[in-house]
Structures are given as C-alpha cells and as structure tokens.
Structure 1
C-alpha cells in the first residue's frame, strides 16, 4: 500500500497545474486527496481545520491558501453558508481526482479504494495533524510535525510527508542515485528531488527537520551524514512486529481451563468487531480483514443448519463431486452433492457465489441446502482478490478450471494491481505518458523502455550542449506533441508507440536539428522548414498567376484542371533541375576529394624527403635535418644564453662595452662549465641521455636565476613604493578586518611582482641594444639569410618562453 499511496501523491504533485505552484498549494492538494471521500471529489472542511493541517492561521488560509488553490486550477472552491449567510465551511472540488475517476483508466488516483484513502488519511494524521480531543469521542494525537508552524511550515511538512512515504520498514529513506553536485551530500540532493526545488532550499529544509528530530542520520559512524532515517517509521514497524510476536506467543501457550479470562474494556475492544458482534445473532467470532474465517472447526457445533464437513479440502485423487456425509439418516439432513470447497468462504448474505464460482453459503440462518449457482459467480471481488487462500484450480461441476487473464492493461485483475511508478530520473521526460506507464506489467519491458528513453536523452544532450534539464524538456515536449496527434484514438501499446512514434526524431527538412518543424536547440520554428514551405508556396503562387494570366475567362472547373497540369509540369521541371544540381555537386565533390588526396600525397612525399635528410650538425642519416641529440644541444645552448643574459643584465654597465663583453664571456664559461658537469648513469648512458640531462640542468639554472632576479628587483624602492601604494588603496574606506588586510596584502604582492618583471624587461632591453651597438652593421648578414637560418631552428616550449621574455623587453 505504501507504493500505491506514494504513486498517488506523486501523481498529484506532478500535475501540470501545480508546475509553478508554491509548496503551500501542493501540500493543500495532498491534504485534499487524503480527506476526499471514496464516492465523490468534494471535500468539505473548515478553515480552522485546514489551517491546522498546513500549520497556518485561519486568516492566512482564507486570504492566501484558498485564492492560490483557486488560481492554480487544481480545485474549485465555494463557501458553504448557513441560513443567516455566515460561512460554515469550505467546499473544495478536487479536479485531478474527479478527472481520474471519470476516465476509468490506470491512473493511480482512480485505483485508490476506500481503504487506501482511509490509510492515507491516517498516515497524514500521524505526520501533519495538530491533534484533536473531542468530547465523548476518541482522541487524535498530534502529528509528528504539529509544532512546525509559520513561515516555511508547508515546505517542511511536505518534505516530511514525502520522506515518510519513501522510507522502508526499517525507517531508511531511499537515497537519490546518480552523480552528486560538488559540495552537496546525497541526503540534500534526495530532499531536493522529492520537493522539486533547488539544493540550496533543500539544505535549509533538511537542517530544520534534523533540528526537530523528525529525521536522523542512519549509522553516521559508518555512512556519515549521507543517508537519512525516519525514526517514527522504524518505531511503528517495531511496535507492529512486537505486537504480532506477542500475540503469537500467547496463542501458542496451552490455556488453563480453570483460569477465567477477564472481559475486555471498552477502550481495548475494536469498534468494528463490536459492531459485528452486535449484528450477529449467534455471536460467531471471525478473524481477518477480508471477511474470511481461518477455521470451521467450531461452526458445525453452533450452526446445525450449515453443511457439515463439506468445507474441508479433500485429497487430490478424490472425485470432483462430494457424495455427502457418510452415514446420514436421510438426504434432507445434509447438503446435496456439490463441488468440494476451499477452506475460505464469503460471509455475504447472498452466499459464496462470488468466490471463483463456488455455490452455497456458510452463513447461519440460510437454510439447510445451498443456493444454486448464479450468473457472474465466477468473478472476483476486489476486496477478496488479495486473499492467499483462494483455490484457482479447483473445477466446478466438472467444468474446466477458470484461468484468469494475465495482470496488465485491459484485464479485470489488472484493475486491482499496484500502480507502477515512473523511474525517478525519467519523471520529467515521461510525465505525458505517466498514466500509461502504470499499465506496463512486465519488469523487463519497463527496463527496456527506460533504457531506450535514456539513450534518446543522451543523444539530445549533444544538440543542447550537455544541458540535462533542457534535453529532458525537449524530449518531454516531443512525447507530448506526438501524444496530442493521436487525437481521440488511445495508445493501445505504450512500448510500441514509444519506439515507433514517441521517441524517434522526425526531420521534415534537410536540417539535422529539425524535429517536427521545431529546432531542438532553441525550441523555435525551424528556418529550413520555413524556407522549404516558402519555396513550395511561391511555386504554387507563380503557377496560379501564370495560368490566370494566360486563361482569364476559363470556368472554375477548367481553371482547376489547367492549374493542376501546370503545377505538375513545374514540379517535374524543378525536380529535374534539383537532380542536375545534385549531380553537379556530386561531381564537384569528387573533384575536391581528388584534389585533397593529391595534396595529401604531396605532403606525405615532402615529409618522406625531409625525414631522409641527414642531421645538419652531426651528419646522422635519416634524421629529418636534425637528430634528437643535436636538437637537445641546441635547446641547451638557448637556455644557457638566456641565463647568461639575465645574470649579466643585473650586473653589467651597458655603457662600458669592453667590460660588458668581458663579463659576458666569464659568465658564459662558468655556466657552461656547470652544465657540462652533468653525470649520467652508465646503464642509461649515451649521447642522447647526456644531452637530455644537460638540457634539464640548464632549464633549472634559468629558472633559478630568473626567480632570484625577480626577488632582488622586488626588493627595490620602486617596487616597495608601488606595493605600499596598492595596499593603501585597497584598504581605503574598508574596515580593518582580517579578510580585508589579507586581500590588500595579496594585491600588494601582485603589484610588486609586476614591477619586478617590468624592471627585468627594461634591463634585458638595455643589454640587447648595447650588444647591437657594439656589432658593426657591415658585419651582420642580410635579413634574408638571417631569417632563413632562424626558420630552420625548432620552436620548442623553452624557445617560445624566451621569445616572450624578449618581446617584453
């Protein structure tokens, strides 16, 4: 029953009329469903009573709740007034329940029986009701969230009701599957999905429920704060199991014949059993909720007019017809020959004809003989379908056994099956066919269809930039659009309809983004379809104008004939032109592909020739112009040169060209001496390994000298002055809080580093200009030769970094 109630509540909350409604209206809809009678959809209640369920006052109910419920369209409201004109109560007509019952389908609302509605009402009372103590009537205790009132009470109460419905027998709430957003727990995501709100709102709701003790963490020492537990659900099931086990233990004890059983008090007696005891003349005590008795051992002693022994199941080898009681004095003293009965009997006054076609009655006062079989006696009652003791294979009067149809859509027994809920991750996508989904009887079919829907959803994500919500909305719109095209013809087979019509994309033009004339990415009309429709409309208009201009005085019938012939000729001409254009495009495409292949062949031959070239430095054959060892050595030389420039730029006097050259030669020798001292293990030896180690050492030397230069320049007066100025500007007009001071210090560090980098670039620029001035212009080769020489060097990451540093200078 928990799954049936959960499906009904989810159906109400997923109603399109409540899509944009607040939690107050949604909770009111659930309360109206719980208080609805089994025969109609009218709920008559008082504003004070409804305010107690919602956690608000009478004024808020009359001025806020009732207008919002009426504006949402989920219910109509009118006030019940007395003869003086004063409002006595509010009369709500719950439209979703009315529509579901009128449709006579497989909607979870239409499947709710009187027992289900009573159970839902008691369940909501245990969670929401404020508690009542009427005079001369049983007291109704306050619910779990009766103390939660005021602002946000509707959200907390609705969340608690959904969590309680989702809880298992041990009180654990089924957590939401899938990947979690960063920074949120699975419990917060679960509450957000149940309420259909943002995770930020769900975090606050969960905090309030935890503070009230309505929910708790399930084994935090093992799972942490990720799994929720509803203690009230676990305690309720624990009490039920304890009561059932105690009753079983008491029944197993041997009764003492000398011990008198004390009579039950009025508070301990069940009201329904007391009412049945008053109606029964003989005081027959029965057990069970489905009007079925567990044993007939005591019946013959109290009811002499009933059939004796014919309710006992015989062996499988016995005859289909019971000859009666052996040793009877006369036929009138017992029942006549009839079929063997199972050990379950109906207590209806009309007899046991409603149980699988068994005739007769076991009720006292109905005479000695059984009633005759009537029409329709082989049909099951809904309240008796769940009894486990029905014998579906015992034939009646030699007939074939009754074979009940398989549970599913359209069968009689399918009307009493539990509704099947839509998968949680597909609630929004399958909302248009949620009612039809409940009719799927096979679990394998449901899994197969869910997999197909997820695959189509994954394909749509590629069109909308991996936006899951947008893809779900587009697919739901497609299914709703295809379902509306059915018109009055219903969907007989949901699986076949989804695979053939509901899920496939229907492109009406040449665009792969088109779906029924609507673009998937923007949900706007497809421009390609509009263009194609415009071309066809223009063709028809031109043909009509041409025919009208050529034949102005033709009758309407002849004009239509001429127009059709002219239109067909124009269409054939356009089709021939389109065919010629496609053939011409195909030929051009073949030519383009041939040119591309030829270009690829030229590039491949050029690469092969380049790969066969020897190394320019060491002469190794097939080295593509430069072998790996020489490449590493050139990179090492570039790194060493840059490290020398940084060291010289900070120490040399650029106006003294002789001193500049001497200092440069000295630093260059020292740096190369340090780099060439690199040791390589013998097992990993070789020229290439040696060159690689030297390059890595040169890279570290460059990084260290660059960092030291920036640190020295950052300590200069100019850098300190800039940092102090930036820090002072950051703290202007702000409180001297710790975070503000930290932010100002970070800004000052950034300013100091920027000044140091700028100064280093200026020093390097001065160095390069001094070297260029020292070299005679006639000694330099022309730029054509210099560019050809530089273009042959490989552009690596280190040389690119050096180029960037040089550009800053």
Structure 2
C-alpha cells in the first residue's frame, strides 16, 4: 500500500504547474488529493477548514492557495444544485478525474487507497474535530503560522519514505563540499522537498526539536521517525494478542479462538512479526497503525500534539488534545481491503508443509456464506476471516470495495512467512525452495510459493520461458507500451484465487497449462476470462455471444409455447423445452457446418485460381527468357540483352539532356536555335559516352562492362546538364523575384531573433531556398510544355479541316507541271521564281489558295 501512495504524492508534487510553488500550495494539493471522493473526485471543504489542515490563516487560503491551484489546473470549482436543496460548492481534483481508466497513471487510486492516504495524513496533521471526536488531532496539529506547511510536508514525505523500523533511507554517494557540513539527512530532506539545503535544515531542526524525528549524528548518520516504528510495533502486538496461529511441534493446527475481540485484525497482516531489524526494502509496511499513536506509546517522549506547546496545543476545536476515545480498542485498524494471504495448513510429514494451497477468503461466495459453505470439515475457523471482521468496519474502509480487482490479491510476504515458519519448526531451510528470478519477481509474486516448489532446474527453465513467451504475446497484442507484467500478474492472481484450497500436485504443469494461458470463449485476442485485459471492463464479444445464446433460448421457448397454445410467461414443460432447445442447437450446428463447408469451397477455389495464375506467370516468364534479343539477336536473352538495354538507356539520357538544355537556354527562341542547342548538347553527351567506352576497351574490359561504363557516363552527363540548367534558371527574373519576396518576408520576423545578423542570415537562407525552388519549378513546367508541343501539333493537324485542305493543295502542287511565267503573272524569273513560289506556298496557306486559283484560271484558258 505504501508504494502507490508514495508514487501518487510524489507525482503530484512533481506536477509541472506545482514546481516552484510555495510549500503551502503544494501541501494543499496533497490534502485535496487525499480528501477527494473516489467516484466523483470532488472535495467539499471551506477555506477556514483547509487552513486548519495546513496550519495557516483563512486569508492565506483565499489569496494564495486556492488561486494558485485553480491556475495550475489541479482543482476546478463545481456548483451542484439539487432539487429543494441549497447550492453546494465542490472542488474537483483534476489529476484524479483525468486518471479514470488510465491504469498506468500514479493517480489511478482505488477507494481503499484514497481512504488509506486520508487516514495516514490525519495521523500526521489532522486538526481534530468536536469535543468527542473519533479522529484525534495529528502529530503536527498544533504547529501553526510561519513554516507550518513546510513542516507538515516534510513530515509527510519522511513518513512515506520511512521503513517499518522508522529509518529513512538517506541519499547515497559523495556529498558536494558546499553542503557537506549540513549532513546527509538534511540533503535527503532537501531533495524530497525540492528546496534549498538551508531551508531543509531549518525544517529538520524544528521537527527534531518537536521530537517527531530522531537524528543520530556520527560517522554513519541515521534519521528515524519514531511514530512509524511505534505504529508497526503496536500493529504487531495487536496481531499477537488476536491469537494468530503459530507453528509448534509437527505443524499442528492452531486452537480455535474462543471469542475474537474487537481488536482482532485481518489474516492479511498476521505474518508481520515485530522485529527490530527490518529488510531494506521495507516489505512489512502496514497501514492502520496511527490509531495507536496515543501518549502511552511514546512513554513520555512526545505528546499527541507533536511536542509543540502553547495555548493552541491545549485545546483545539473544542477538544482536549490529550484526550483519547474512551475505548480505543473498538476503533478499526484501517488498511486497504484486500484478499487474504496463503495459510499454512496442517499436512502430513511427507508434504513438508508446502502444499501449494492458497485460501482466498471466501472466493466468489458472499461473506455470510464463506465461513459456512467454504470451510473444510474438521478445520478450525481462522481468526480474522471476513465473518470476524464485520464489527471492525468503518466508513473509511470503504463498505463496498471493488471485489473484481481486489479479491484475488495475494500477500507478497506469504512466502517469507512460510519460510520463517519452517525454520522455526525444523531449525533450517526447507529441502527445496526455488528463488524467483529477479527479472520476473514482480510478475510471479502471486505464485511465489508455488514457484518455490519447483525442485528441478529444467522445470524452472520451462516455466520461465513460458512466462516470457506470454509477456511477448501480450506485447504483440497491445503494443510495446503496454504494462504486460501487470496484466500477467493479475492473471496469475486470479488463477490462484480460483484454485482455492485444492492441492497443487504438479507445480510446473499447473503454471504452464493452467495459470499462464489465456482463457477466452470469443475471438477477441484482448479477452481473458470474459474481461478486457487492458482496461478490466467486460468483453463486448463475450457479451454478444451471451446475447445470442439468450435469444436462442427465448426463440425455443416461443416455439414450445406456440405448439402447446400457452403463453411464454407460463411454466413450460421442461422436457419439451429441452428437446426444442436441443433441436435448435442442432439446426444452428448444421448451419455453421454448411457455412464452414462453403468457406472451405471458396478457399479451395481461391487457392486453385492462385495456383493457375502462378503457373501462367511462370510459363510466360520461361517463354520470355527463351526469346532472342530484339536488338542484336542473341539467343535466350529474355527479349533484350544487357548491352542493348544499356544502349537504350544511353539514348534516353541523351534525349533527356537535350530537352533540359532546350528548356533552360532556348525556351523563348525560334526552332532553328532550339535544334542547334539540342544537337550541341547531344554531341557533348555522346562524346562523354564514347570517351568512357573507348577507355574501357583500351583496358581490355568485356563488352558488357563497356556498355555499362557508357550508361554510367550518360547518366553522369545528364545529371551535370541538369545542375547547369538549374543554376541558369536560378538567376532568372522569376527566381529573383521569389528570392526577394522570401527575404523580405523573413526580415519582417526579425523581432524573433536576438540580433539583426541572425535575422539577416535566416533571411538569406530563406532567399536561397526560394530561388532554387523557383528554378526547379521553371524547369519542370518548361519540360512539360516542351514535351506536350509535338503531340499538340499532331493533334491539331489531324482535327483541323483547313490544315488538311492546305496539305492536300501542297500535294497537288508538287505533282502539277509549272505554268508559264506570263500566266502566273510574274516577270519570268524562271526556275528560281518557281522555287521561290514553292517556298512561299509551303510557308503561307493563303499563298497556297492563290496558287490554286491561278491553276484553275490557266485550265479554263486552255
């Protein structure tokens, strides 16, 4: 329970909007988080009451805390209006509200966890309420005014980080020289509070003066929180007084408790022993100990008000601080409502006390039935079961916990408890107890006891491989960002809870074939036991299957009622209903079988068609490979050999280079100059190709190598022509205008740069980019227009009737004898005049029409 609470508090304090805020604002956010309702995430509290929690005045809350939290987006004011009720103002805690459904968020806290956090904070600095309040003031309740919020926040963080023996892990490594004089404990608190070291030193001195922390100086510094250690010792003592079973002799069952008193605790906490030396990880954290932080536990070291004196320490909200409830034993020791751990059951000597059994605390049956219906014959009742804990409930525990997510949890310290029990009985370790791999320790925590019974290395290797394969399968379904370890851990916990009191005879087989595989009746890969593995909600596909089956039963009932002429609501004969339902299921089976057969036929037809297409392709490919070369006639060249293919690439490169040259340098020139530039470019590219091929032949290369060298030379020449064309187009008027426009636009944003030189450099870079983009655009558009011109001329000649008539006239003039000079109306220039006339006709269609008229007149005169 400590880990999620500490993670939530640290995540809240590390919120980007809280970094750098005052300690009173940060502590106010933590109080809002703890007091928020689980379902609505709302808090109803006044400024005066919040000030009592934080140890400041009401005006500080109104002017500093609430405005800062609203601006940071951590709380949102809500006004609720009920019918016939006055308006009620709430504050919604937004981190909790936004974390609903986000299982990986540190703010995704369950109701028991929120209640535990509130009870924990109440034990530290709750103000206390009423003259006969059941919630006494916390340790820092009397600490008010300047620095009160810092002291409360420091005490909260130290208590959350403290181990069960009260020791706080200090910062490791070598300290900096400027903070070495303060000590390692002060540096640790400064890192927790995210403040300067001198401020942390003052806060720690105030807590030490109030005897709330104990700092041991010396070669090895130690910082302890006595309240945590006292709470754990009190919890261990209460468990011992509750009659927890112990192992004596040959593992005999404990004697049944006569009448469990109100101080009996749950079976979950029974394996926590009161030890002076605790493990480094602090696995023994148990909440619910601040109920016992009365003055009698401190033995005069500190009072309930944390060692602060004054008038405020004598009476607070009408309640004497040194007053406690009349019967403190009647109060509930609060901690999260969770499933019970594994019990050590009485077994024969050959079982060695390790049967792999796990008691689930009632399973799926109600609490009132679990003690009667799920108890083994002859087995004594276990103290602290659900039936015994009914009187110890309190509103803070959560009267209706989420059984779907909490009933299968297994105590992580159960295995260590069994080991300690075995050592106490036999005087040494068990003959076989396998250690869980470190990489899979968190995943296999629910089944740690069953893993411990794997006596062969091969069995452990097989189970480990199965676990890793299941984790990879989960990541394949949900993606690499999913918490596959958490999903598999929950699955193992459910399987162990379902096992109940049945003995696991084969641990390896149980883990591989029963616990690890996913169980789903629907085709959805995200379903396990009818629930979504990622969200925990009900599986929609399984719901649809249930609806279909329900509809099938309703249809069968309607048919039976219609055949018997009775109402569906009447009691139908069971035999007739079962027969009709069987026939309906049989018809559904026939329909599914026919559908499967049709699907199989369609699949076979698709496979046959695919095989036929593959055979046709292979035959066509084989025939193509047998074809000779279309250029040189070489046999079995696949239609074109490598030398001819390289020659075609050379010709294409030469033509493209000529087009680029014409588009770049002769776009606005006449046809004669275009042809001149094109021929010049082609000659240059061919010269490069010829020089490369000659060099290859001189070196004695094969003909295929020579052709390849020519192709590469043509491609390099084409790239050079393209670069030159872009360089020419980059200095055209269009490119210059675009560059100037980009430069001016970038200079209008010079206020975004530190200096004018930086702005001019960015403007020049934008100008160069715009210039080259314009050059590429011009080259692309000019090439498109140049390649479309021959096709457009051909199309116009094929569709225009006037051009067709002019072409026919030219054809007739070429085959007709020339008329006399006098008939033509010329001065008689002989053959030269005829050639000039023919040239004019070729160039001008109107001249062609005049020639035809003259020809008609000459024929009429003759």
Normalising by the smaller structure, the TM-score range is 0.3 to 0.5
Q: Normalized against structure 1, the TM-score is what?
A: 0.48
Q: Which has the higher contact order (CA 8 A, sep 6+)?
A: 2
